[in-house]
Amino acid sequence: MVRRLIHASLVLGALAFVPARAGANDEPTAAEKEGNRLERKGNAEEKAADADKARGERMEKKGKAMKAEGKETENKAQEEAGEHVQKKGKAKVKAAEARGDAAEEMEKSGNKIEKAGVKEKKAAEKAATK
Protein backbone atom coordinates (compact mmCIF):
# COMPACT_ATOMS: atom_id res chain seq x y z
CA MET A 1 0.00 0.00 0.00
CA VAL A 2 2.80 2.37 0.88
CA ARG A 3 4.43 1.43 -2.41
CA ARG A 4 1.30 2.41 -4.32
CA LEU A 5 1.12 5.76 -2.50
CA ILE A 6 4.74 6.50 -3.32
CA HIS A 7 4.24 5.49 -6.95
CA ALA A 8 1.08 7.58 -7.27
CA SER A 9 2.73 10.64 -5.67
CA LEU A 10 5.70 10.35 -8.05
CA VAL A 11 3.42 10.14 -11.09
CA LEU A 12 1.28 13.06 -9.94
CA GLY A 13 4.41 15.06 -9.05
CA ALA A 14 5.81 14.49 -12.53
CA LEU A 15 2.52 15.52 -14.13
CA ALA A 16 2.57 18.74 -12.13
CA PHE A 17 5.64 19.87 -14.08
CA VAL A 18 4.11 19.17 -17.49
CA PRO A 19 2.56 22.32 -18.96
CA ALA A 20 -1.18 22.21 -19.53
CA ARG A 21 -0.89 23.01 -23.24
CA ALA A 22 2.12 20.88 -24.13
CA GLY A 23 2.83 20.99 -27.85
CA ALA A 24 0.15 23.54 -28.60
CA ASN A 25 1.13 26.33 -30.99
CA ASP A 26 4.82 25.36 -31.12
CA GLU A 27 4.98 25.80 -34.87
CA PRO A 28 6.97 28.88 -35.89
CA THR A 29 5.17 31.73 -37.60
CA ALA A 30 5.91 32.77 -41.16
CA ALA A 31 8.00 35.68 -39.90
CA GLU A 32 10.09 33.36 -37.74
CA LYS A 33 10.64 30.99 -40.65
CA GLU A 34 11.67 33.86 -42.94
CA GLY A 35 13.96 35.27 -40.25
CA ASN A 36 15.64 31.90 -39.76
CA ARG A 37 16.03 31.50 -43.53
CA LEU A 38 17.66 34.92 -43.87
CA GLU A 39 19.90 34.23 -40.90
CA ARG A 40 21.10 30.91 -42.36
CA LYS A 41 21.64 32.53 -45.75
CA GLY A 42 23.61 35.35 -44.11
CA ASN A 43 25.77 32.87 -42.20
CA ALA A 44 26.55 30.91 -45.36
CA GLU A 45 27.36 34.09 -47.28
CA GLU A 46 29.59 35.32 -44.46
CA LYS A 47 31.45 32.00 -44.41
CA ALA A 48 32.00 32.19 -48.17
CA ALA A 49 33.18 35.79 -47.89
CA ASP A 50 35.69 34.80 -45.22
CA ALA A 51 37.03 32.07 -47.51
CA ASP A 52 37.34 34.55 -50.39
CA LYS A 53 39.10 37.01 -48.12
CA ALA A 54 41.63 34.37 -47.07
CA ARG A 55 42.18 33.46 -50.73
CA GLY A 56 42.74 37.12 -51.57
CA GLU A 57 45.21 37.52 -48.72
CA ARG A 58 47.17 34.49 -49.93
CA MET A 59 47.17 35.93 -53.45
CA GLU A 60 48.42 39.28 -52.14
CA LYS A 61 51.18 37.56 -50.18
CA LYS A 62 52.19 35.55 -53.25
CA GLY A 63 52.27 38.77 -55.32
CA LYS A 64 54.54 40.45 -52.78
CA ALA A 65 56.90 37.48 -52.88
CA MET A 66 56.94 37.48 -56.68
CA LYS A 67 57.60 41.21 -56.72
CA ALA A 68 60.45 40.90 -54.22
CA GLU A 69 61.97 38.01 -56.15
CA GLY A 70 61.73 40.02 -59.38
CA LYS A 71 63.55 42.93 -57.73
CA GLU A 72 66.30 40.62 -56.45
CA THR A 73 66.87 39.00 -59.83
CA GLU A 74 66.28 42.27 -61.69
CA ASN A 75 63.53 40.61 -63.73
CA LYS A 76 61.17 43.44 -64.66
CA ALA A 77 58.46 41.12 -66.06
CA GLN A 78 58.35 39.04 -62.89
CA GLU A 79 58.27 42.20 -60.77
CA GLU A 80 55.31 43.57 -62.76
CA ALA A 81 53.52 40.22 -62.61
CA GLY A 82 53.99 40.17 -58.85
CA GLU A 83 52.61 43.69 -58.58
CA HIS A 84 49.61 42.68 -60.70
CA VAL A 85 48.91 39.62 -58.52
CA GLN A 86 49.30 41.73 -55.39
CA LYS A 87 46.78 44.31 -56.65
CA LYS A 88 44.39 41.55 -57.66
CA GLY A 89 44.68 40.05 -54.17
CA LYS A 90 43.96 43.42 -52.54
CA ALA A 91 40.89 43.85 -54.72
CA LYS A 92 39.62 40.37 -53.77
CA VAL A 93 40.11 41.12 -50.07
CA LYS A 94 38.23 44.40 -50.40
CA ALA A 95 35.36 42.75 -52.29
CA ALA A 96 35.20 39.91 -49.74
CA GLU A 97 35.03 42.40 -46.86
CA ALA A 98 32.14 44.22 -48.54
CA ARG A 99 30.40 40.90 -49.16
CA GLY A 100 30.92 39.93 -45.51
CA ASP A 101 29.44 43.23 -44.33
CA ALA A 102 26.38 42.67 -46.53
CA ALA A 103 26.03 39.15 -45.11
CA GLU A 104 26.14 40.51 -41.55
CA GLU A 105 23.39 42.97 -42.42
CA MET A 106 21.34 40.12 -43.88
CA GLU A 107 21.83 38.15 -40.67
CA LYS A 108 20.80 41.14 -38.53
CA SER A 109 17.67 41.74 -40.59
CA GLY A 110 16.83 38.04 -40.23
CA ASN A 111 17.11 38.40 -36.45
CA LYS A 112 14.81 41.43 -36.50
CA ILE A 113 12.21 39.60 -38.58
CA GLU A 114 12.41 36.58 -36.28
CA LYS A 115 11.93 38.77 -33.20
CA ALA A 116 8.88 40.33 -34.81
CA GLY A 117 7.49 36.84 -35.40
CA VAL A 118 8.07 35.88 -31.77
CA LYS A 119 6.29 39.05 -30.60
CA GLU A 120 3.42 38.25 -32.96
CA LYS A 121 3.16 34.72 -31.57
CA LYS A 122 3.21 35.95 -27.97
CA ALA A 123 0.53 38.51 -28.72
CA ALA A 124 -1.64 35.82 -30.31
CA GLU A 125 -1.16 33.52 -27.33
CA LYS A 126 -1.99 36.35 -24.95
CA ALA A 127 -5.14 37.16 -26.90
CA ALA A 128 -6.13 33.50 -26.92
CA THR A 129 -5.78 33.18 -23.15
CA LYS A 130 -8.03 36.21 -22.43
What percentage of the chain has pLDDT greater than the value 90? 53
Average pLDDT over residues 46-51: 95
Distance separating alpha carbons of residues 7 and 58, to the nearest angstrom: 67
Where on the phi/psi map is residue 74: left (φ > 0), alpha (ψ -120 to 50), or beta? left
Each residue of 2-31: pLDDT tens digit? 777 687 776 766 666 666 554 455 788 888
Q: Kindly tell me if the per-residue pLDDT of 125 is higher than 80.
A: yes
pLDDT at residue 15 in the model: 62
Domain spans of the chain, in order of start? 35-129
Each residue of 79-112: pLDDT tens digit? 999 999 999 999 999 999 999 999 999 998 988 9
